[in-house]
Chains A and B, each alone.
Chain A
Amino acid sequence: MSGTLADRATVHGGVGTSVPRPDATAKVTGSFEFLGDMHADGMLWGATRRAWVAHARILRIDATAALAMPGVHAVLTQDDVPGHRYQGQAVTDQPVLAEGRVRYWGEPVAIVAADDAETARLAAEAIVVDLEELDPLVDLEAALEHGEIFRHVPVRRGNPDLHGEVVIEGTYVTSSQDPAPLGTEAGLAIPDGTGGVDLWGPTQWVHIDLEQLAACLALTPAQVRVQPCRLGGAFGSREDLSLQTHIGMLALRLDRPVKMVYDRTESFVGHVKRHGSLMHYRHEADRHGRLVRVDARILLDGGPYQLTSNAVIANSTYFAVGPYRCDNVTVDGYALRTNNPPSGAMRGFGSNQPCFAAESQMDRLADALGLDPIELRLRNALQPGDQLPTTGQLIEAPLPTDEVIRSVASIPLPDDEPNEDPRHLPGGTGLTTPRDRVVRGIGYAVGIKNLEFSEGFDDNAEARVVLHGDGAVVHTAAVEVGQGMVTVLTQIARSALGISKVHVAFDHTGQIGSAGSTSASRQTQMAGNAVLQAATAVRERALAQLGGDDLDDDGVWRGDTLLASLAELTAEGPIEQHVDYHHRATDQPDADGQGDLHVDFCVAAHRAVVDVDPDLGLVRVVQIAIGQDVGRAMNPQQLLGQIEGGIAQGLGHAVMEEVVLDHGVIRNPSFTDYLLPTCLDAPHVEAVLIEQPSTWGPFGAKGMAELPTMSATPAVVAAIRAATGRPLTRVPVRPEDLVAPALTGGTR
């Protein structure tokens, strides 16, 4: 089933138009209710006692003093978990509260409920936790040596004895990056009076939370209603549970609503981060620059619990080469267990780390061959009819690698002269940078990533479209995290129905089945296709009911005659259709990591222009251009928003964002010390949307929201390299990397 844009070009606010978000007005007036804004009569406030050590044995937990405080209602520990004591998506290996050991800095040990937030906080502090500190395991090579492996993904493809004439070897490091959604974790649990609970928490997939919560709370799935949305951003950080089980336990124990809100420091330890990585690469090419073989070893720092590391390392491994043809590939990807903070999903999901390493390698290869970096990439660009270099999967769907590279290279460059205004110079208003010291650099990078879930996962999304007398309602449990899925689903339903009066209702787990995760760039295609099919069926039934040939806001038409209004059409009851959409099946990998593991792919190319102050090591990103594969543009304005927002996060990881770790301890868990790009740091963005319709996405759309982040990071670093001549094998690039004497050179 698919529609075309031309079919319904006339419906107001349909696909292809830049309609504003339906929730925008509530958000600009301050009336939108976020998780932390929720309130229930008689509610208590929860707080968390954490252990601020990276690794320790728990000797004693004593809540006597806390319980004696007026206004404190309960202190619970791991012994109080009513059901299964562990949570986790793939394997349940994370204790709900620390059990016997503390395995990362800030791990929750006990939870409190009290009359007000301040009492809860003070009571949490008053809980005595005696610890015997242990050495934390924080080094990736040591973790590998000790066999602390969550998952090893091997790729063996082609002839191991084939070699190229030019060999480039390199070791690359990426630090951990915090998703840092602006809303911290917050939640509310309300007991239903019959033993069950309604639970609002930070989630990207209510049904995967439901499985874990029901097990841990010793309830049936029907007794737990996990509610979606109300999030202040996500970017992967809400894929794993944070406070949900805790507020559920307190609410059920006390039979009172319980609310909990993390402060920013808690948020830093309370959600997963982008894996830090250590990668070794060897690229071999012929003298024309064609890749002959790529060997890589990728180590990801998973922290103490598996969470989504098993899937993240699969992405790192399968996208280790980038969007390039290469027939001889060996990759060993390892997700490792350490006592660093838990890692998991963040925008790009394991594809970003190898993108930085492999694109750095491509630049060095171009340099060694005396080739333009664009030309080298075009010579190797992966196209339909080629095989993915790692898994051998035949690329059948449109994949405009060549086009994204050419388009980004053709976008006009900004003015050569650095602007006189100090706010346009690397030192900014500090007035530290004389204009004549500024060096400009230009760099490129290309990224590729899978869409949807891979490796044989039966990925589905349910939706129900209901036509009433006053318009249509789309029901879904897909989570809106701020990205704008709510707008796209509205547009798809409008175009499929021919009706502009469409409202998206976000259902809880008791009302509809799973729509899958809001991740992997998947909801535009997955929830989108479910909505498209359901809406199309509703339209067909509405027309069939009266023998009409068109449906719009007025009702059902035959030729120029209005047969019935929507109210008349639905007088006997609404017309509704429920759809459970599944994408085509994929393979599980064989022992060599080969197979049709992925449903679809998306590509993007970035060009970064930077100005560098080489005396102080300061960088200002002047412009980032992007060629972005979108399938079909459902909402150009929202696409640009995803592109600009994604680029800012990729830029952040290139030059400022690092979770600074010292023996497992986060040294910068605040917005004072963890630097996010501000309005002055964000570059001017020039975007070209490449439209080659997806063969299966709704109206040809593709998911795309992760790509803008991925290759932005290596493009910015490439530009800094071009400006400074520094090797820069680690992100984020720090000022000292630009001013300290280079290891290989003398003094500057």
Chain B
Amino acid sequence: MIVTMEVNGEPRSAEVAGWESLLWVLRERLGLLGAKDACLQGECGSCSVLVDGDLVCACLVMAADAEGAQVTTVEGLASSGDLHPVQRSFVDQGAVQCGYCTPGLIVATAHLLEQDPDASDTDVREALAGNLCRCTGYGALVRAVAAARTATATDDGSAAPVGDGADREVRS
């Protein structure tokens, strides 16, 4: 069957088999490899994308059900070469290590801040509890969301300059 969707603002269609998930179609049929595939069971959030504005695990959505949908993936967040504030703050705050969780977390975080720009750190932890990260222990992630929140609030598009050269307390 042919499935047609709007992906990151572009009309896209692909010939798909009945068993194929939205994640499979994005990755293997449309060449959008940003969304990841760490569990394929809806447990890890590495495949998070937006479908008609809702945050979903693309591994749990049948491709056929996405017919006519508007899909946003991590590739669709940066506009004309500028990083999205969430992407910027993930870089600056060291919220990226191996990066396998990162595309899903970026999409989930951008969605969260759009829904709830004043989310507290605890709200952030609850909202992102569906996105597993094995590397960071989530601390940098929560700091990154806080920085992105500030950046979004001040609307200057840039996160607080806390990355380069910003030292934490070091006692010898």
Which of B17, B19, B106, B163 is in CB contact (< 8 Å) with A637?
B163
Q: Tell whether A744 is near chain B: CB-to-CB under 8 Å.
A: no
Cα A691 to Cα B36 in complex, Å, equals: 38
Q: Tell whether A678 is near chain B: CB-to-CB under 8 Å.
A: yes
Q: Tell whether A220 is near chain B: CB-to-CB under 8 Å.
A: no
Return chain B residues, CB-CB under 8 Å to A407.
171
Q: Shortest distance in angstroms between B28's beta carbon and chain A's nearest beta carbon?
A: 8
Cα A36 to Cα B99 in complex, Å, equals: 13
Q: A646-B137, A685-B139 are in contact. Are A19 and B129 (CB under 8 A)?
A: no
Q: A30-B73, A233-B134, A264-B38 are in contact. Are A636 and B139 (CB under 8 A)?
A: no
Proximity bits, B70-86, A CB within 8 Å = 1, else 0: 00011101100001000
Q: Tell whether B46 is near chain A: CB-to-CB under 8 Å.
A: yes
Q: Are B94 and A637 neighbours in the complex by a CB distance under 8 Å?
A: yes
Q: A182-B133, A482-B99 are in contact. Are A671 and B138 (CB under 8 A)?
A: no
Q: Are B38 and A232 neighbours in the complex by a CB distance under 8 Å?
A: yes
Q: Tell whether A393 is near chain B: CB-to-CB under 8 Å.
A: no
Q: Are B94 and A31 neighbours in the complex by a CB distance under 8 Å?
A: no
By CB atoms of chain B within 10 A, which of A31, A36, A183 has the most? A183
Q: Tell whether A165 is near chain B: CB-to-CB under 8 Å.
A: no
Cα A687 to Cα B168 in complex, Å, equals: 9
Q: Are A24 and B90 neighbours in the complex by a CB distance under 8 Å?
A: yes
Q: Are A29 and B19 neighbours in the complex by a CB distance under 8 Å?
A: no
14 contacts between A and B (CB under 8 A): A18-B94, A28-B74, A29-B87, A180-B134, A231-B98, A232-B38, A232-B100, A264-B38, A641-B140, A643-B137, A645-B97, A645-B137, A648-B138, A689-B171
Return chain B residues, CB-CB under 8 Å to A601.
none
Q: Are B168 and A636 neighbours in the complex by a CB distance under 8 Å?
A: yes
Q: Shortest distance in angstroms between B77's beta carbon and chain A's nearest beta carbon?
A: 8
Q: A25-B91, A691-B170 are in contact. List 11 more A-B contacts (CB 8 A).
A: A19-B165, A28-B96, A28-B99, A29-B34, A182-B134, A232-B98, A644-B136, A648-B138, A676-B132, A679-B138, A689-B170
Return chain A residues, CB-CB under 8 Å to B141.
679
How many B residues face the partner with a CB closer than 8 A? Answer: 67
Q: Are B128 and A679 neighbours in the complex by a CB distance under 8 Å?
A: yes
Which of B41, B135, B142 is in CB contact (< 8 Å) with A641?
B135
Q: Are B39 and A264 neighbours in the complex by a CB distance under 8 Å?
A: yes
Return chain A residues, CB-CB under 8 Å to B132.
182, 671, 676, 678
Residue of A nearest to B40 (CB): A263
Q: Tell whether B1 is near chain A: CB-to-CB under 8 Å.
A: no
Return chain B residues, CB-CB under 8 Å to A182.
36, 38, 44, 46, 98, 100-101, 132-135
Residue of B nearest to A482 (CB): B98
Proximity bits, A469-485, B CB within 8 Å = 1, else 0: 00000000000011110
Q: Are A423 and B40 neighbours in the complex by a CB distance under 8 Å?
A: no
Q: A636-B170, A678-B132, A685-B139 are in contact. Are A184 and B99 (CB under 8 A)?
A: no
Q: A30-B33, A184-B38, A264-B39 are in contact. Are A17 and B83 (CB under 8 A)?
A: no
Within A373-419, the residues touching B (CB, 8 Å) are: 407
Cα A690 to Cα B171 in complex, Å, equals: 6
Q: B-contacting residues of A (Cβ < 8 Å)?
A: 13, 16-21, 23-34, 36-37, 117-118, 180-184, 231-235, 261, 263-264, 407, 421, 423-424, 429, 481-484, 633, 636-638, 640-641, 643-649, 670-672, 676-680, 682, 684-685, 687-692
Which of A36, A118, A181 is in CB contact (< 8 Å) with B17?
A118
Q: Are A21 and B96 neighbours in the complex by a CB distance under 8 Å?
A: yes
Cα A530 to Cα B167 in complex, Å, equals: 26
Cα A714 to Cα B132 in complex, Å, equals: 24
Return chain B residues, CB-CB under 8 Å to A234.
98
Q: Are A671 and B43 neighbours in the complex by a CB distance under 8 Å?
A: yes
Number of A-B contacts (CB under 8 A): 225
Q: Are A28 and B41 neighbours in the complex by a CB distance under 8 Å?
A: no
Cα A677 to Cα B97 in complex, Å, equals: 17
Cα A67 to Cα B17 in complex, Å, equals: 22
Q: A637-B166, A682-B139 are in contact. Are A671 and B103 (CB under 8 A)?
A: no
Return chain A residues, CB-CB under 8 Å to B46.
182
Q: A17-B164, A679-B129 are in contact. Are A640 and B101 (CB under 8 A)?
A: no
Q: Tell whether B63 is near chain A: CB-to-CB under 8 Å.
A: no
Cα A452 to Cα B93 in complex, Å, equals: 29
Cα A31 to Cα B35 in complex, Å, equals: 10
Return chain A residues, CB-CB under 8 Å to B78.
29
Which of B83, B90, B98, B140 is in CB contact (< 8 Å) with A644?
B140
Cα A745 to Cα B148 in complex, Å, equals: 52
Cα A355 to Cα B54 in complex, Å, equals: 46
Cα A47 to Cα B16 in complex, Å, equals: 21
Cα A677 to Cα B133 in complex, Å, equals: 8
Q: Are A29 and B83 neighbours in the complex by a CB distance under 8 Å?
A: yes
Q: Are B39 and A670 neighbours in the complex by a CB distance under 8 Å?
A: yes
Cα A646 to Cα B133 in complex, Å, equals: 12
Q: Are B171 and A183 neighbours in the complex by a CB distance under 8 Å?
A: no
Q: Tell whether B131 is near chain A: CB-to-CB under 8 Å.
A: yes
Q: Are A644 and B138 neighbours in the complex by a CB distance under 8 Å?
A: yes
Residue of A nearest to B122 (CB): A423
By CB atoms of chain A within 10 A, which of B40, B90, B137, B169 has the most? B137
By CB atoms of chain A within 10 A, which of B19, B27, B102, B135 has the most? B135
Cα A82 to Cα B117 in complex, Å, equals: 60
Return chain A residues, CB-CB under 8 Å to B140.
637, 640-641, 644
Cα A20 to Cα B163 in complex, Å, equals: 6
Q: Are B99 and A232 neighbours in the complex by a CB distance under 8 Å?
A: yes
Return chain A residues, CB-CB under 8 Å to B32.
30
Return chain A residues, CB-CB under 8 Å to B35.
30
Q: Are B134 and A676 neighbours in the complex by a CB distance under 8 Å?
A: yes
Cα A483 to Cα B91 in complex, Å, equals: 14
Cα A481 to Cα B17 in complex, Å, equals: 35
Which of B27, B125, B166 is in CB contact (< 8 Å) with A679?
B125
Which of A34, A231, A264, A644 is in CB contact (< 8 Å) with B137?
A644
Q: Shortest distance in angstroms between A671's beta carbon and chain B's nearest beta carbon?
A: 4
